[in-house]
Amino acid sequence: MSQENVEIKAGIERAYEALSRLDAEAMVSLCEPDVEFRSRIAEADDVTYRGHDGVRDYIASLAEVFEWVRTEALEVIGEGDRAVVCNRFRARGRRSGVEVEE
């Protein structure tokens, strides 16, 4: 694995740790201002989150729905300035108390 890929993977792992804490500012500190991503978890619709405000909105939407969140990057596939992360997501619903895993 190249040094660049090692650094990308380490950054993604730090981001998943911040996400597990629902720590929006820690997540923002790890993202470029023009970050863009989609989440199958936060929204039923096909929403693209953009920029630091998008990161904050995403974390806020998770915190509103879930009591706690645990995320883990299982595999990182990267090329150039893009990466795809295969992950494990676990959480407990704030209102229902139901635990989910994806």
- Return the domain boundaries, the chain: 3-101
Q: In this structure, which CATH number among 3.10.450.50, 3.40.50.970, 3.20.20.80, 3.40.50.720 belongs to the domain 3-101? A: 3.10.450.50
As given in the structure block, the two tokens for residue 83 are: 């990466």
CB 76 within 8 A of CB 85: yes
Nearest to 53 by CA among 75, 82, 24: 24
Task: For residues 40-69, give the mean pLDDT.
Answer: 87
Is 70 exceeded by the pLDDT of residue 2?
Answer: no
Q: Reply yes or no on whether the pLDDT at 46 is more than 80.
A: no
Please state the rounded mean pLDDT for residues 68-91. 85
CA 92/CA 99 separation, integer angstroms: 4
Identify the residue with better confidence: 87 or 40. 87
Q: Which residues share a beta bridge with 85?
A: 76
* pLDDT bucket at 79, cuts 50 / 70 / 90: confident
